Amino acid sequence: MREALEGSQAIARAVALCEPDVVAAYPITPQTHIVENLSELVAQGDLHTEFVSVESEFSAASVVLGAAATGARAYTATASQGTLLMAEVLFNIAGMRLPLVMTVANRAVSAPLSIWNDHADSMAVRDSGWIQLHATSNQEAVDTTIQAFRITQETELPVMVCMDGFILTHTMEPIDLPDRMAVRDWLPPMAFSRSLDPERPLSLGMLVSPDYFPEIRHSHHAAMQQALAVIEEVDTSFHSRFGRAAGGLLTVEGDPEAKVGILAMGSTVGTLRAGMAHYVEAGPARLITLRSFRPFPAEALREAVEGLDCLIVIDRAISPGLGGVLGTEVAAVLSQSARPPHILNHALGLGGRDIPETVYVDLLDAGRDPDAPRFSVFDADMTKLAPEDR
Amino acid sequence: MTILTRSAYGEPGTSLDFKTGNWRSTEKPVHIHAKAPCHGACPAGEDQQAWFALLQEGRVEAAWRALVAANPLPGVTGRVCPHPCETACNRKALDGALAIHNVERWLGDEAVANGWAYPVEEPPADAPVVAIIGAGPAGVSAAYHALRHGMRARIFEAASEAGGLLRSAIPPTRLPRAALNAELDRVLSLPGIEVTCRARLGRDVSVEALAADHAAVLLAPGCQEGRDWDVGGSVPADHHEGLALLKEFMDHGQFPAAQRVIVHGGGNTAMDLCRLMKRFGVGEVTLVTASGLPGPDTATDDLINVVPRELEEALEEGIEIIPHATVNRLIMRGSKVVGAEVASLKKVPGTDGRKKRVTFEGTERVRDVDMVIPCIGEMVDPEGLHSWINRGYLRPSDHWGTLSDRIYALGDARGDRGTVAEAIGDGARAVAAVAARLNGGEATTDTRAELPASDLNPVYYPPAARSVAPKLPVSERTFEAEIEGDIGHEAALAEAARCLSCGNCLACDNCWTFCPDSAVIKTAELATDGSFYLFDLDYCKGCGLCAQECPTGYIQMRPE
């Protein structure tokens, strides 16, 4: 029987299924319900973990850093400003190559203050060296969370599971939570090759001279590249054990003959999928869902766009002065293809602006317009701006 | 029961003051325990949803008790029933109907293995006694249900053992005698049931004499009398009728020698006979049937009337089936059959507006065969029943089996039955009618509406594949070994977990979770309507979210 669960509640239950040794998190909208539900599970005796109440995200990240270094299975969650307050520690966690799982309930970053969803927070720590996986639905977020604990163990790289704030975290969805024993069976007990041990003293995150730094970054990059295969394998293994996959590196759906493609991450995909089903007359499209933003699946992406004349990349973030983040990366990767599609990049839904199903029609229309800009904040209403800002 | 909801104790001046009043949408939610389609389709009257619910709670013995409230022989029906419940199952549109027969059989066998006691008590010594003719499934069921209604039962059986056609006509490969005997013995040894074997109607007992000193006489003699058969007037000298041949084989283990056989008919007897003869060494066995085989072009009322998995197994074993065809002519050398002309049938409009089947001219083809065996159904042996028989059968006037005051007809002898489950249901129904009359009332039927699949919300049910019972490979099939195996404890519980609980509350909390006005209240104890929820109509806005998200269709929106 599937249960009707709020996204946050489902994530808390999924984390509990993975039986973490240490949980430390500081509440921030829209992540709060995840931590609340976890503390409730602890209070009810359904989750046996060291739940550390902390006074800030900096501390939360630091606590789980320490816990992970001792070989404990550790978990934290954050959003928006919290992510930024953690930023220094996040780079440390990744640089020390510690296994850790963190949920980011994606939310815009101030100023102006916005509690609503976009991807500015996880994009801000894009280069921290964490694996970043995006979920399109709560079921995928649940399954990806469980997978993340296995991926982090196998790769010894920290994994960030990104889910859209409010749109996913605060929405009810029928969720199939796997059986506890089945998860215990599928997820190996925590093991970390470099865990701290008083018998074998070790220093982590030490000063490194220029003699070694480039090699360390190179090996980190190489480890991220190797993680691509692990992410795929873990999803396949999950599928064979639990009967459903969570999106591999990326997935391709829609009309395979279509000449136009749309690429997106997160809950936007659900909206586009509904739009595609609803507005058939708008024409066919190939829908590409990018799940693994870091590591970036260049090879898989090149295959996924084969045969497309035009690719519309949806960004839920903006890099002011450049344009879209995802769009720019996709263009860079596809520039190495023999026949890259024409790439259009649009930012959509910034700061929680609602993305309606009709966006599917509007995007395809814009794709056909030879004068359409290569980048735009697609849903910005220019009439709200002073003429000089348009 | 007075229901005290929040409006009754809400503090003045809080938002609880703001009640919905008369501006609710035109509909309000109500709990309706609709009939699950399996229950509606079961000729034995089982409520499969009810016992699956108990299995989902892990209460295996309680599930068996709920099952035998209707059907005392689940180990038998789990093996031989064509399971119309599965045809009706709402899950068939999702990922396959529940394999109800597998679980029913397993429960029946568990009860035998564990010696679970039937939920009946011995009626008092002076309780009314019903006389039952025939210890087949209808008679045994009637005797058992008599106990449930506080009556005693006295069965008269012409054969030397109880079982009726379960013993005489169903091969042990489908119904092992150990399984049959175990269940029959357990029922027939219940205190309050008395069985007299070798008591033949018309010779040892008479309906009139029994009626004189019993509360009622229930006639369940089955059908023993072959019909006359010929093809265009010719009857071979070595003519054998299908059921008689099958019974002879069960007694003596012999078939007449033949190399090529046509069996003409379209029921389980025909199918059993085909398979046994093939196994016995008959080179070519062909079934010629007027009905169609399952497929996109075959209407449901045109389907060959056999247990679907039997059909599948028969094809595996190499039985040839010619659908929509008839034996048009026998080719005789002297009085011996040497061939048969088979012709296809086509449908033409009949005089009464219904389609009828006629020979499709030009499709005639001749098959070289040594035997043509008709399996065209049997009629009631009229001995001792002359005054009740009407065109070969007892033909009662109603659903309860009423023939006349205190005399009822059950099972195959009615003339409108054909399965063990129907016979078992007839036993229950006739006894219910007798009991109601003794109490000065009338028996009632379950008139609730069935829950259509469209009232379910399927998203809450994760996909789960239908269980498949192990089967003997064709090369290992003998005359004795049971072909289908047991699915076992784990698979049975997994199958039970697939039940969608059509029309019945699962206590999933969806209504409580989704209600935007907190107008669904959870109760600590079972509420009078059988659920753990109440609607606080003072605050319900009639939005219908609860009904939409109810997985089982138990919540329905109804006009105020």
Stretch B427-444: mean pLDDT, rounded? 94
**The pair of three-digit structure tokens given for residue B169, joined into one six-digit string:** 């006509």
Same domain, B91 and B19: no
Q: What share of chain A is helix, strand, coil (3-state, %, to 5)?
A: 40, 20, 40
Q: How confident is the model at residue A179 (pLDDT cuts 50, 70, 90)?
A: very high
Cβ(A366)–Cβ(A372) below 8 Å? yes
- Select from B461, B463, B513 the Cβ nearest to the Cβ of A4: B513
3 state DSSP class of B450: strand
Q: How confident is the model at residue B229 (pLDDT cuts 50, 70, 90)?
A: confident
Same domain, B299 and B430: no
- pLDDT recorded at residue A106: 98
- Select from A1, A174, A176 the Cβ nearest to the Cβ of B506: A1
Q: Which of A322, A344, A325, A224 is nearest to A265 (CA)?
A: A325
Same domain, B469 and B483: yes
Q: How confident is the model at residue A278 (pLDDT cuts 50, 70, 90)?
A: very high
Q: Rounded to whole angstroms, how far apart are CA atoms B541 and B517? A: 8
Stretch B198-208: mean pLDDT, rounded? 93
Same domain, B362 and B242: yes
* Mean pLDDT rounded to a whole number for chain A: 96
- Select from B461, B462, B510 the Cβ nearest to the Cβ of A4: B510
Count of all residues that appear for chain A in the document: 390
Same domain, B251 and B266: yes
Q: Which of A140, A369, A112 is nearest to A265 (CA)?
A: A140
CA distance A243 to chain B (A): 9
**The pair of three-digit structure tokens given for residue A35, joined into one six-digit string:** 């931590």
3 state DSSP class of A32: helix
Name, of B183-192, B238-247, B249-258, the range with top average pLDDT. Answer: B183-192
Q: Rounded to whole angstroms, how far apart are CA atoms A167 and A363? A: 21
Chain B contact for A181, CB < 8 A?
no
Q: Domain tally for chain B? A: 4
Interchain CB distance below 8 Å, A1 and B508:
yes
Contact residues, chain A, for B462 at CB < 8 Å: 1-2, 176, 243
Q: Rounded to whole angstroms, how far apart are CA atoms B180 and B176? A: 6
Interchain CB distance below 8 Å, B460 and A1:
yes
Stretch B49-75: mean pLDDT, rounded? 97
Mutate to test the interface with B, among A1, A172, A239, A244 (most CBs of B within 10 A): A1
Interchain CB distance below 8 Å, B508 and A174:
no
Which residue has 């379209």 as its token pair?
B266
Residue A260's H or E segment, with its range, is: strand A260-264
CA distance B510 to chain A (A): 6
Please report whether residue B96 resides in a domain: yes
Interchain CB distance below 8 Å, B508 and A3:
yes
* Of the residues B346, B376, B406, the one at which a domain ends: B376
Residue B558 pairs with which residues in a beta bridge? B28
Please report whether residue B444 resides in a domain: no
Q: How many CB pairs under 8 A join A and B?
A: 26
Please report whether residue B446 resides in a domain: no
Contact residues, chain A, for B509 at CB < 8 Å: 4
The answer to ipTM > 0.90 is no
A370: cis peptide before it, omega within 30°? no
B393-432 tens-digit pLDDT: 999 999 999 999 899 999 999 999 989 999 999 999 999 9
Note the helical H segments in A44-188: 57-69, 80-95, 120-124, 138-155, 180-186
Domain CATH number, residue B23: 3.30.70.20
Please report whether residue B432 resides in a domain: yes
Residues of B with CB under 8 A from a CB of A: 459-463, 506, 508-510, 513-514, 549, 551
Domains and CATH numbers, chain A: 3-242 (3.40.50.970), 250-389 (3.40.50.920)
* Mean pLDDT rounded to a whole number for chain B: 92
Stretch B534-549: mean pLDDT, rounded? 94
Contact residues, chain A, for B513 at CB < 8 Å: 4, 172
* Residue B341 dihedral angles phi and psi, to the nearest 5°: -95, 120
Interchain CB distance below 8 Å, A1 and B461:
yes
Q: Which of A73, A59, A140, A71 is nearest to A101 (CA)?
A: A73
**The pair of three-digit structure tokens given for residue A160, joined into one six-digit string:** 């960030």
Mutate to test the interface with A, among B499, B513, B546, B548 (most CBs of A within 10 A): B513
Q: Which domain holds residue B551?
A: 6-33+505-559
Same domain, B372 and B285: yes
Same domain, B178 and B192: yes
Please report whether residue B112 resides in a domain: yes
Same domain, B383 and B372: no
- Select from A4, A176, A243 the Cβ nearest to the Cβ of B549: A4
Same domain, B347 and B406: no
Contact residues, chain B, for A1 at CB < 8 Å: 460-462, 506, 508, 551
Cβ(B192)–Cβ(B93) below 8 Å? no
Q: How far is CA B135 from CA A131, B393, B400, B402, in A?
A: 73, 18, 19, 19
Which residue of chain A has the CA closest to B550?
A4
B169-191 tens-digit pLDDT: 899 999 999 999 999 999 999 99
Count of all residues that appear for chain B in the document: 560
Domain CATH number, residue B311: 3.50.50.60
Same domain, B102 and B138: no
- pLDDT recorded at residue A55: 96
* Of the residues B395, B410, B438, the one at which a domain ends: B438
Angular region, A31: left φ>0, alpha ψ -120 to 50, beta rest: alpha
Q: How confident is the model at residue B2 (pLDDT cuts 50, 70, 90)?
A: low
Domain CATH number, residue B457: 1.10.1060.10
Same domain, B487 and B356: no
pLDDT of B304 > 90? The answer is: no
Q: Which of A297, A319, A382, A376 is nearest to A343 (CA)?
A: A376
The amino acid present at B67, given as its one-letter code, is: L
Q: Rounded to whole angstroms, how far apart are CA atoms A41 and A50? A: 12
Please report whether residue B152 resides in a domain: yes
Same domain, B66 and B106: yes
